[in-house]
A and B are shown apart, each in its own frame.
Chain A
Amino acid sequence: MDSLIVLLIPLLPLIGFIISGTLNKQANHTLINGLTCGSVFVSFLLSVILFYQLQSGSAPISYKLLNWIYVGALKLDLSFTVDALSSIMLLIITGIGFLIHVYSTGYMHDEPDYARFFSYLNLFVFFMLLLVMGNNFVVMFVGWEGVGLCSYLLIGFWFKNNAYNDAAKKAFVMNRIGDLGFLIGMFLILNKFGSLNYQTVFDLASHAATNDPTITVICICLFIGALGKSAQIPLYTWLPDAMAGPTPVSALIHAATMVTAGIYMIVRTNVLYTLSPDAGFLVAVMGVATALFAATIGLKQNDIKKVLAYSTVSQLGYMFAALGVGAYETGMFHVITHAFFKALLFLCAGSVIHAMSGEQDIRSMGGLRKKLPITHITFFIGTLAISGFPPFSGFFSKDEILAKVHEYNGGFMLFTILAITSVITAFYMFRLYWLTFWGNFRGNSHQASHLHESPKSITIPLILLAVFAASAGLIGLPHLFHAPHLLNNFLAPVIINAPTLEASASFEIALIVVSLIVLALVTYITYQIYVAKARIPVADADEKGISKWVANKYYIDELYNALITQPLQAVSTFANNYIEKYVIDGTVNSFRWLTNTGSLLIRQIQTGSIGLYIFGIVIGIICMFVFKFYLA
């Protein structure tokens, strides 16, 4: 029964995809809604059942579908395993996925390609489930590539716009760079441990020596994969561009689920990372650097979705910082809380964009709190959560990360940067909040006349997500409260041998107090700047000095373009014009010429004369005699 559930969870969205994918454009919306939302909802219910079984102490539940790849010593099954870690991911994917499906029914209501959109969404859910449920690296990789594909399809969903297509291609290419790292990592694992099955590899690895160079290389390769998928420096530039996709897609794929696949992968392989402190340190440094870097860019963005995108990159940096120091549960904790509040923020942004008739620039917004009360309240809760106001969820997870990084040996520098970053985070989030919902409306009259609160299918998911964004922190209360840390206890079977990092109670109190004061200060300052003095950000062209630099995202895209794209273009142009034309075509054509000429020559011996034919036969016989009797 349980194993049937395990099979059904990914199967239902796949069925939803297949059916809705084969429907035509005129298909009934109700049918598509029932099919796609329904399949994800049933998957969610099944995930809840599994979660409760694991919660009550059941062993991980497996289902083996078939003997997949049996080549020589390599034996890979297509099989699924649900343990504590994947169970949490299942709840996030199907739960938030369901809410976003419901939201999309409202948001995409007028879309002519309705069925296509929902079939892609279901396909994404299927691959994401595959990614987290597989019991070996190859199944994970299939899911990994699959979500990349869906991401590509959904970013370029409005494929008539060429800029969107470019964004989709950029996301795909950037991800491919990371995937290469993942692949190499997989091969190295296979080479080192002779298997790709999680259980086998981790059992063998738990006996391996610490600081084994091979394991360090494996960890770095896997981390490169995570860099691509989770949009970290230097492969982060695709994520802001990915905002070209419909907003529910940004919420589901580029905030809540797919981008956390890198985190999931590292938590899954925590045994290996624990064995390699060097790789861990690299992960932490990259995470911290990304967190700060993306947060500063977020300060100067004026597109509501771009701000959230950079914020996502920055928050993912936090998670990597936690993983790097060995606090895997904390990383997962932030994945969970972030999934709630960032999905919430994106959906609110979608609601705003919906109300603003497609306008995304916050300079044209303002004063929306009266027209969009529910969106306003829920967005406010999201802002508080991400900024880390107690007792909202972001506070608990972010403070836990800060505390763990502080306890990490030599982590003070990292801690300081993260603390500063969290101030910046609060700053840009409140800037966004004030500019959007307070002050006077700055859009045109057409937009003003259309301002309205979104329909129920949009607001209900917002309210539900807001409830979770506010309360999800309760699953991981700090030690201070002497309450059990529910998440850590639940995840304990999955995290093996990880170092324990416990902050002292006094430090935690200090952290809470200081962050409260600073956050209050930031709130006040931003209110002064953006509401009281109503300073609206200037047009991009008028930016000067450092702020111009930041507003242009440090010219990273331009740098990549000049350093990598242009030289590659030049080389391939050269190859196309010269190597292809003369060397390859020349060789091929000369073979063709040789064959044709040879053929024309040789066919001349077929003269049509019987005498010569018989002569040829006799010559043949004589040759055989000579060959066997005189040459032998």
Chain B
Amino acid sequence: MLAEIFSFKKILPVLVFFGLATALYFNFNDWSTYHSYFYNMTTIDNFSIVFSSLLIGAVIMWLLMAGSYYRDENKITDHLAIICFALVGGILMTSYTNLMMLFVGIETISISMYVLAASDKVSLRSNEAGLKYFLMGAFATGLLLFGIALIYGCTASFDLGVIAGYVSAGNLPQMFYVGLILILSGMFFKAGVIPFHWWTPDVYQGAPTAITAFMATVVKAAAFASFFRLFQMSFAGVAGWWIEILIIVSAVTMIFGNLMAVSQTSLKRLFAYSSIAHAGYMLMAIIACNDMGARSLILYAYAYSAASIGAFAFLIILINQLQTDHQDALKGLAYSNPLLAIFLAVILISLAGIPPTAGFFAKYYLFTTLISQGYVGLVIIAVLSSLIGVYFYLRPIIFMFQHSNVETKLKISQSSLAFFALVTLIIVILGFMPQLIIEII
């Protein structure tokens, strides 16, 4: 399955597309088989299949979207190779059963992203984004590794199952908890939650828009899949210990992520902060730490990825044609490009979590899961902060419906309109039939 992706990595996008489709097929071929690969260092279970399907699907969508972005650039082959490489890292992150694999996966995806973030060689912003991402990412890797080392020191193994057995035996040394906090820090950084979020807005804004789209979907989903997997499979036994940290971090992330997004005028930066806030919501699934949590995390990841890839696809068009991502550029869009405006409105409404879109049901399942476990206070905070979210997600829609002196008419090809229609369709279908995803595992 993995070789499938490698073998196509240096060829044209069409081939990559079909390669990914084949990978998706082989991926589902493994359904419920629970195969283990690489001497038990990865195990394909249904959770990982659903997530790696999300990753592969997101990359396919990304390809469809980025086709227009790379049309006039000749470095597409390099980028595609690195994207596929990153995808391998992402898939490792969803299916690892060994901390060594987790480390390799994280580094594979991270190093690819450092390169891609800085890939616009002449742009200072892109350079800055790459450097910031790289320095902080390497620092966080150090933290994560130190944590892994301490855990290894206690358990003498990298295997998640062995660690879980060690945890359930009880009587854990201080060193284990120190390691746990350091691992948490590393994961927090990759997931981009406050106070480890610093890189997110700057990198999202500075990186080329197509790369930002990749980061917001694939990297985010992979980070949360690995986060959830690690804490459910290994550390569930000491959940009482780390859950308090997660609750505080999740609450702070939701509130401040949404709050900081409110005053943004750059749409790209707005979506960056919104991704921080969404990370706060997805942390709630890890707090639940059970099958219900896994289901809500999957639904949330699908809903969020679909909506944000649509949003970034729109930004690519906007930035390509108007050289700006300021929200004022949206003025009058509803009159000049009504269809596009409708699609974008659906995407934003889904991000805000208003029914009948996928975003609403994702939040709904997440909140019911948390309430059923008694975290009512956290859910209240989540609901209140998502009210702030509604404020800034609806503002672009208002802008679209305002008349402006400068008629901004975007040239949209039929194929990209079809792409937006596809995204909208996915959002609405998931909105009406969330059980498609919820009941899959």
Contact = CB atoms under 8 A, between A and B. Distances in A.
Given A606-B201, A613-B199, A628-B177, A621 B185 contact: yes
A583 B386 CA distance: 24
A613 B245 contact: no
Interface in B239-281: 241, 244-245, 248, 256, 259-264
Interface in A586-632: 592, 595-596, 598-600, 602-603, 606, 608, 610, 613-614, 616-617, 619-621, 623-625, 627-629
B118 to A, nearest CB: 14
B238 to A, nearest CB: 11
Given A598-B262, A602-B260, 12 more contacts: A602-B256, A606-B201, A613-B136, A613-B198, A614-B135, A617-B136, A617-B139, A617-B140, A621-B143, A624-B181, A627-B244, A628-B181
Contacts of B198: 606, 613-614, 616-617
A613 B132 contact: yes
Contacts of A606: 198, 201-202, 260
A595 B262 contact: yes
A608 B136 CA distance: 13
Interface residues of B, number: 34
Nearest to B182: A621
Contacts, number: 73
Interface residues of A, number: 24
A619 B196 CA distance: 10
Q: Mostly helix, strand, loop or mixed at chain B's interface?
A: helix
A596 B195 contact: no
B273 to A, nearest CB: 9
A603 B263 contact: yes
Nearest to A620: B195
Contacts of B181: 621, 624-625, 628
B184 interface: yes
18 contacts: A592-B391, A595-B391, A599-B259, A599-B261, A599-B262, A603-B260, A603-B263, A606-B260, A613-B132, A613-B136, A617-B139, A617-B195, A620-B195, A621-B143, A625-B178, A625-B181, A628-B241, A628-B244
A592 B198 CA distance: 26
Given A621-B182, A621-B185, A624-B185, A608 B262 contact: no
Q: Is the interface of A mostly helix, strand, loop or mixed?
A: helix
Contacts of B185: 617, 620-621, 624
B260 A614 contact: no
A235 B131 CA distance: 78
A587 to B, nearest CB: 14
Given A613-B198, A617-B185, A624 B245 contact: yes
Contacts of B261: 599
Contacts of B143: 621
A621 B245 CA distance: 11
Contacts of A629: 177
A616 B256 CA distance: 15
Contact of B135 (A598, A610, A623, A625): A610
A599 B184 contact: no
A613 B195 CA distance: 9
A624 B188 CA distance: 12
Contacts of B262: 595-596, 598-599
A132 to B, nearest CB: 36
B260 A599 contact: yes
B388 interface: yes
Interface string B359-383: 0000000000000000000000000
Interface string B182-204: 10110011000001101101100
A392 B298 CA distance: 77
Interface string B207-250: 00000000000000000000000000000000001001100100
